[in-house]
């Protein structure tokens, strides 16, 4: 495989993609809807920033038992949370539109045999087509991020270095999600003889892994985990009931409460909390395993970890424990390393299948 011939094929495919009417229409729709969602996100960010300023002034002006509590400053990454839902739908459609007829169209027009008559090897053709599609998706993602950053600057919202790094990581994760369905479409285009069939097969896989698989995971979690444990019926004496934290302090926790009598924790409630913790962990494990096969769920998980680590900390907090301190960007990514790996493995498997099928395909 010669690099110059490979790049020539990739350059030709990239040019065909970005100048095609289909690509321009879907990309334009994606950018318009992204612009609207970013504008709404900026308005919400400004409202949150005003509320944060008022809370900060209140804490500084009044001395009360809660003076040690400090409100958390909103991050501009909240703006990009609204882009996730549009990216999963329109971005997925854009990726499918690029890849579903890359090879099947060559079969239908019988131009593949003519293409192979030139001094080109099969691996240079299929790898060049893949690189051209990846370049077109990267071009679309760069435009979307550039538009988002430009709107932030227009509204006088300047990202910090950490926030700018988070924006770049969000863009990389979004591109990984698009590559997942581009790889599926390219595989179906290589397997199918007609572009129509390739599109149908791709859409079936798209809706299966995006909708049916998460639903199946929830059903499997309900079936294997069983019914949740029933709380014990405890008669509570008047005037001696308190809520106790696991650390020994006395306060009301929004996550877990243990009934105590005269400073002694009730054993039935302790057993109930242990059973509930085991039940929740079992459900979460089954659901997480099934969600690893869905690019949508992996994308949501990683994108939330990047845009709002506080939500990820709340979701990952074990049952019966207080919420941990909000992790930084590196810590949030460390929590979702399996989802990141799944976003890499999923398209890699389909790209490998495409390569093997194309190299062994009978072209007549």
Extents of the domains making up the chain: 3-360
The pLDDT value given to residue 163: 84
What residues pair up with 261 in beta bridges, in sequence order?
A: 241, 264
* pLDDT for the residue 341: 92
Q: What's the mean pLDDT in 43-67? A: 69
> How many CB atoms lie under 10 A from the CB of residue 68?
7
The residue-averaged pLDDT of 104-123 equals 78
pLDDT at residue 353 tops 90:
yes
What is the SS3 assignment for 242?
strand
Q: Average pLDDT of 8-26? A: 88
Interatomic CA distance for residues 252 and 186, integer angstroms: 55
Q: Which residue has the tokens 């979307």?
A: 144
Q: Output the pLDDT for position 101.
A: 86
Residue pLDDT, tens place only, 274-287: 777 777 777 777 77
Q: What single string gives the DSSP state of each residue in 4-43?
A: HHHHHHHHHHHHHHHHSHHHHHHHHHHHHHHHHHHHHHHH
Predicted confidence band of residue 61 (pLDDT cuts 50, 70, 90): low
Res 262 pLDDT > 90: no
What pLDDT, on the 0 to 100 scale, is given for residue 248? 38
List the single range of 160-164, 171-175, 329-333 with lowest mean pLDDT.
329-333
Average pLDDT on 175-199 reads: 91
Would the pLDDT of 236 be above 60?
Answer: no
- Whether 314 shows a pLDDT value over 70: the answer reads no
Could you give the CA distance from residue 253 to residue 191 in angstroms, rounded to a whole number? Answer: 56
Look up residue 142 and give its two tokens. 């760069």
**d(Cα 262, Cα 111) in Å, to the nearest integer?**
85
pLDDT at 105: 86
């Amino acid at each position: 495989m010669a690099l110059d011939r490979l790049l020539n094929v990739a350059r030709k495919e990239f040019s065909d993609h970005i100048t095609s009417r289909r690509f321009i229409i879907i990309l334009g729709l994606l950018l318009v809807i992204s612009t609207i969602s970013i504008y709404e996100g900026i308005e919400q960010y400004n409202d949150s920033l005003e509320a944060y300023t008022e809370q900060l002034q209140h804490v500084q002006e009044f001395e009360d038992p809660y003076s040690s509590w400090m409100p958390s400053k909103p991050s501009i990454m909240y703006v990009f949370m609204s882009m996730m839902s549009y990216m999963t739908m329109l971005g997925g459609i854009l990726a499918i539109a690029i890849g579903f007829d890359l090879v099947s169209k060559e079969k239908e027009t019988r131009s593949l045999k003519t293409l192979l008559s030139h001094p080109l090897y099969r691996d240079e053709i299929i790898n060049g087509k893949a690189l051209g599609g990846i370049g077109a998706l990267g071009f679309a993602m760069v435009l979307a991020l550039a538009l988002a950053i430009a709107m932030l600057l227009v509204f006088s919202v300047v990202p910090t270095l950490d926030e700018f790094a988070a924006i770049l990581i969000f863009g990389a994760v979004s591109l990984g999600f698009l590559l997942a369905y581009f790889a599926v479409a390219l595989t179906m285009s290589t397997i199918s003889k007609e572009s129509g069939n390739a599109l149908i097969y791709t859409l079936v896989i798209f809706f299966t892994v995006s909708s049916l698989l998460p639903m199946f995971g929830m059903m499997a979690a309900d079936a294997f985990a069983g019914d949740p444990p029933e709380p014990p019926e405890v008669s509570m004496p008047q005037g001696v009931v308190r809520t106790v934290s696991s650390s020994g302090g006395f306060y009301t926790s929004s996550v877990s409460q243990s009934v105590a009598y005269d400073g002694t924790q009730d054993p039935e409630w302790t057993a109930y909390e242990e059973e509930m913790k085991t039940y929740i962990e079992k459900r979460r494990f089954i659901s997480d395993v099934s969600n690893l096969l869905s690019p949508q769920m992996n994308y949501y998980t990683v994108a939330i970890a990047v845009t709002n680590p506080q939500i990820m900390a709340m979701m990952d907090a074990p049952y019966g424990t207080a919420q941990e301190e909000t992790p930084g960007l590196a810590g949030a990514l460390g929590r979702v390393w399996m989802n990141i790996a799944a976003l890499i493995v999923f398209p890699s498997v389909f790209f490998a299948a495409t390569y093997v099928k194309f190299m062994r395909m009978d072209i007549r």
